[in-house]
Amino acid sequence: MIEAGTVSPKEQRHALWLTTLAFTLCFAVWTLFSILGIKIKDELGLTDTELGLLMATPILTGSISRLFLGLLTDRFGGRWVFGLLMLTTAAAVFMLSLADSYVLLLLGALGIGLAGGGFIVGVAYLSSWYEEGKQGTALGIFGAGNVGAALTNFAAPFLLLAVGWQSTAQVYAGVMAAMGIGFILFAKADPSHNQRQQSATSLTAQLMPLTELRVWRFSLYYFFVFGAFVALALWLPHYLMEVYHLDLATAGVLAALYTIPASLFRILGGWLSDRYGARKVMYWTLIASVICTFLLSYPATEFQVQGIRAELSFSLHTSLPMFVLLTFVLGFFMSLGKAAVFKHIPVYYPKHVGVVGGAVGMVGGLGGFFLPLTFGMLNDVVGIWQSSFMLLFLVCALALWWMHFAIRRAEHREWLAGEEVTDLPEMTTDSWLLEDWRPENKGFWQDKGRSIATRNLWISIPNLFLAFAVWSIWSIMVVKMPKLGFTYSPNQLFWLAALPALSGATLRIFYGFMVPIFGGRRWTAISTASLILPCLWMGIALQDTDTPYLVMLILALLCGLGGGNFSSSMANISFFYPKAEKGAALGLNAGLGNLGVSAMQLIGPLAISASLFGEMGGEPLVLLDSTGASHALWLQNAAFIWIPFILFGAIAAWFGMNDIADAKASFKEQAVVFKRNDTWIMCWLYLGTFGSFIGFAAGFPLLCGLLFPDVDPVKYAFIGPLAGALARPFGGIISDRLGGAKVTLWTFVVMALGVMAVLHFLPDAQQSGSFVGFFVAFIVLFIASGIGNGSTFRMVPLIFLTLRSRALGASGAKQAEVEGNRESAAVLGFISAIAAYGGFFIPKAYGSSIAATGSVAMALYGFVVFYISCVLITWWYYARKQAPIPC
């Protein structure tokens, strides 16, 4: 943002119209599949699911890329980032024209999605040319580049008929490449370019605004005004044809009465935001949208009233003219809101427009991806066409309530303190911040520290329990789904069982670093609340056996949110306890939290056998047993049952836990652990303990069913995870007394012997095997892995406290404690991330071994070799007398 008069109006207009033209062309390319998709499907023989994925991929990648493109624009400037982005997109569109397989089409779609990310590059670049009083209008004009979608809808069909889809794509590629070169040649470096070059900003500093939760409030607004706009633009023609029985041409024209104002009136929204303030415009937008979506959500209803002399009948419904009027008004106010949201960003974050705008734009784009899928599932489950507007009403009402509450609290704090609030006022709770925290001081610990730590631990445990329950839902679902009519292949079922572990492990890498950035209390509450998304969506999707496999894959990935919570939970609790009690505390947190796996496998089968939620819970699916008898199963209950507990757990974490001031650290301060050899050694060892635990839990039901078809694995699946979870606290307690390294070493010896026992009891061509022996051997493996989980986590704090104490000496004991705890927390999060990949690789190892050899034995022999390597590594580095760091 600049001061008035710094840049001439001519330069401003040049930047405005050049950037708007570039964005218009980017938006035209981003929506290219809306025209080419049907032709591509016919020529290459794609299924509906493949076409849906192809059309959704650019929306998804365009949304996610906005955060990273905003980051690059803040760092390097919009001229080069925008120009190179358009050239890259042009190459992807040209590659699309050469595609002769579905894989190449998807790769092209990934590149085309980058065009959608051009929005945030333009916002960051253009906002630097205008002073605060004119930014809203300028960004509103720029945002009207959404009409690029109309440009494609008008021009692409004629090109398609004239030259075919391949040549149409090549024309688009040529135009985009010319625009990219032209932008680099004719655009000028933005006014803040020289200042940015002189004062290089670290990546941590660039990302720091994302720790302010106000950014995510803005994101919710944009999720509605932009995400819902995109979703309704796709949904309305279908809605009009089904509800009002219109033909395609008429439905398209009426839908345009919604989409056109939602694009063009964005200019007016920018001007109004400059004139009256973005806050007022957001109030107008959300209040009007709440009214419109409420009226649109009311289904056609017939009433019968028992009168004195006769029945009185009347009906209520939204007529077609009224529907068109309401959607027009809704589109109009959405366009104002889109401009108002982005008017906020350069005012609050003038030096971080790219990264903040990227995050906000990413959330909005994801709304455009997920909402249409949700609309379809709501139709299938609720059976009411207006259910889509019911959902939008709830989202909009939540955004309005949150905005009003935040503004009132902000004004109150400003009046009292005479200062501007930089964080969300409703999220600023200094009374829960522990400025003085000295757990190694015995007097402090006995007087007040222990009680505070205990309270945080016993709130953390049930939240982690819920995370593990959600993470492991698919281990039960994949056993029941084939018998209920879901026509997925065995390989597809293995993927559904394995993907939560894959995404959860990946999320743990990032979650482990979140506690020192956001604070343990905040992150525990937010990460727990996020589990509502997969549970609610799964509860809807599992009621329909025709739910596309793509949707199930997305839901399996989203369940990984539960897996990610473990690393942040353990990192948080590690800050609260002295090193003499860390083993027991971490063991209790993880061990009782791990019970969520066995609870899911025990409670899940019980929950799906009864109608727990009545009509609100949806209809059951019918299972036919071997005798031909039918049994009703409410598969959705396995997800719905956790939602009230998740809400309660998130609220308890927010109002009952604490943040520790000393635990604050940037990513750079924590990233030093990657240079420590011991970090990578402990990754290997924890992969052997926790990786085995979660992998065995995920794969045991399916493996048992394949090897012993006469046994119902669901009846026994919960016992192993239960035994392992209960054993984990004892691993920590024993390690506090005997030493973590000794306990870990003998754990791996037992695990190697346990796998040999499993091999002994396997069925083969000569014998049927022994299920009892197989089951007992696995119980031993679960118990051993649970004890090893506790002992390895006991080792980590001692290792890193020892390293920092050696480095800083006796005079730096206090600093060594702070740095050791900080590094330990980061390592605990990171090794738990790496170990969680065991939940993916172990089930896949079973499947690969069976596919290659017809037996699971090859995979099990590999496990034995791995456990022997863990024994040797533990002994050499930590357990022998002359070990580098005995622990």
> Which fold does the domain 207-304+314-425 belong to in CATH?
Growth Hormone; Chain: A; (1.20.1250)
In percent, the amount of the chain with pLDDT more than 90 equals 14
Count the Cβ atoms, other than its own, within 10 Å of residue 405: 13
323-337 pLDDT per residue, tens? 888 888 888 888 888
Residues 823/804, Cβ–Cβ less than 8 Å: yes
Domain 432-879: CATH superfamily is: MFS general substrate transporter like domains (1.20.1250.20)
Q: Which H/E stretch holds residue 302?
A: strand 301-306
Least Cα distance to 391 among 157, 232, 557, 176 occurs for 232
Pick the residue with more confidence: 775 or 378? 775
Pick the residue with more confidence: 344 or 523? 523
Least confident of 102-111, 257-266, 810-819: 257-266
So what's the pLDDT on residue 359?
Answer: 79
CA distance 280 to 6: 28
Pick the residue with more confidence: 666 or 400? 400
Q: Which residue has the tokens 């299920």?
A: 771
Span 12-17, average pLDDT: 86
CA distance 658 to 652: 11
CA distance 571 to 579: 14
Least Cα distance to 835 among 796, 789, 871 occurs for 789
Q: Is the pLDDT of residue 429 over 50?
A: no
Phi/psi at 580 (5° precision): -70, -20
575-607 pLDDT per residue, tens? 888 877 876 787 788 778 878 877 887 888 888
667-676 pLDDT per residue, tens? 555 566 677 8
Residue 793: both structure tokens together: 């986590």
Amino acid at 862: G
Span 77-85, average pLDDT: 87
Q: Which H/E stretch holds residue 744?
A: helix 740-760
Q: What DSSP line would sit under 659-681, residue for residue?
A: EEGGG---HHHHGGGGG-HHHHH
So what's the pLDDT on residue 50?
Answer: 67
So what's the pLDDT on residue 421?
Answer: 47
Q: Is the pLDDT of residue 3 over 60?
A: no
Least Cα distance to 518 among 75, 796, 834, 825 occurs for 825
| Residue partners of 70: CB distance under 8 A and separation at least 6 | 120, 121, 124, 353, 354, 355, 356, 357, 358, 359, 361
CA distance 242 to 255: 13
Span 839-860, average pLDDT: 84
So what's the pLDDT on residue 437?
Answer: 83
Same fold, 1-196 and 207-304+314-425: yes
So what's the pLDDT on residue 47?
Answer: 67
Least Cα distance to 800 among 663, 652, 679 occurs for 679
State the average pLDDT for the chain: 81
Least Cα distance to 564 among 535, 528, 600 occurs for 528
Residue 75: both structure tokens together: 């760092």
Q: What are the boundaries of each domain within the chain? A: 1-196, 207-304+314-425, 432-879
Residue 592: both structure tokens together: 């009782």
Pick the residue with more confidence: 862 or 425? 862
Pick the residue with more confidence: 594 or 780? 780
So what's the pLDDT on residue 424?
Answer: 39
Phi/psi at 56 (5° precision): -80, -25
Q: Which residue has the tokens 């699911």?
A: 49
So what's the pLDDT on residue 410?
Answer: 67
556-575 pLDDT per residue, tens? 888 888 888 877 887 788 78
Residues 340/286, Cβ–Cβ less than 8 Å: no
Q: Is the pLDDT of residue 706 over 90?
A: no
Least Cα distance to 34 among 117, 116, 142, 119 occurs for 116
Residues 359/67, Cβ–Cβ less than 8 Å: yes
So what's the pLDDT on residue 179?
Answer: 92
For the chain, the maximum distance between any two Cα atoms, rounded to a whole number of angstroms, is: 100
Q: Is the pLDDT of residue 679 over 50?
A: yes
Least Cα distance to 831 among 789, 866, 869, 865 occurs for 789
Phi/psi at 631 (5° precision): -135, 130
CA 599 to chain centre: 24
283-309 pLDDT per residue, tens? 899 999 999 999 888 887 776 777 677
So what's the pLDDT on residue 870?
Answer: 94
Count the Cβ atoms, other than its own, within 10 Å of residue 419: 8
208-245 pLDDT per residue, tens? 777 676 888 888 888 998 888 877 876 777 788 788 88
Helix (H, G, I), strand (E, B) or coil at 555: helix
Q: Is the pLDDT of residue 648 over 90?
A: yes
CA distance 782 to 717: 11
Q: Which CATH architecture has domain 1-196?
A: Up-down Bundle (1.20)
Helix (H, G, I), strand (E, B) or coil at 790: helix
In percent, the amount of the chain with pLDDT more than 70 equals 87
DSSP state of 614: G
pLDDT tier at 427, thresholds 50, 70, 90: very low
Greatest mean pLDDT among 61-75, 403-417, 844-858, 869-883: 869-883
Helices (runs of H) and strands (runs of E) counted in the chain: 37, 6
Least confident of 21-35, 196-210, 704-718, 729-743: 196-210
Sign of CA dihedral 685, 584, 784, 847: negative
Residue 818: both structure tokens together: 């702070």
CA distance 451 to 432: 14
Least Cα distance to 566 among 602, 537, 527, 534 occurs for 527
Span 488-505, average pLDDT: 78
Q: What DSSP line would sit under 95-148, residue for residue?
A: HHHH--SHHHHHHHHHHHHHHHHHHHHHHHHHHTTS-HHHHHHHHHHHHGGGGH
| Residue partners of 590: CB distance under 8 A and separation at least 6 | 464, 566, 570, 728, 789, 790, 793
722-753 pLDDT per residue, tens? 888 788 888 878 888 888 899 999 999 999 99
So what's the pLDDT on residue 668?
Answer: 57
So what's the pLDDT on residue 393?
Answer: 92
144-191 pLDDT per residue, tens? 777 777 677 667 777 877 888 888 889 999 999 999 999 999 888 877
Residues 119/68, Cβ–Cβ less than 8 Å: no
509-567 pLDDT per residue, tens? 778 667 776 778 888 888 899 899 889 888 888 888 877 787 888 888 888 888 888 77
CA distance 770 to 752: 19
| Residue partners of 558: CB distance under 8 A and separation at least 6 | 503, 533, 534, 537
Taking CA atoms, 32 is separated from 515, 519, 568, in Å, by 42, 43, 41
114-133 pLDDT per residue, tens? 888 888 888 888 878 887 67
Least Cα distance to 22 among 81, 77, 66 occurs for 81
The torsion angle over the Cα atoms of residues 30, 32, 38 and 39, rounded to 10 degrees, is: -140
Taking CA atoms, 379 is separated from 390, 471, 517, in Å, by 11, 27, 41
So what's the pLDDT on residue 256?
Answer: 65
Count the Cβ atoms, other than its own, within 10 Å of residue 328: 17
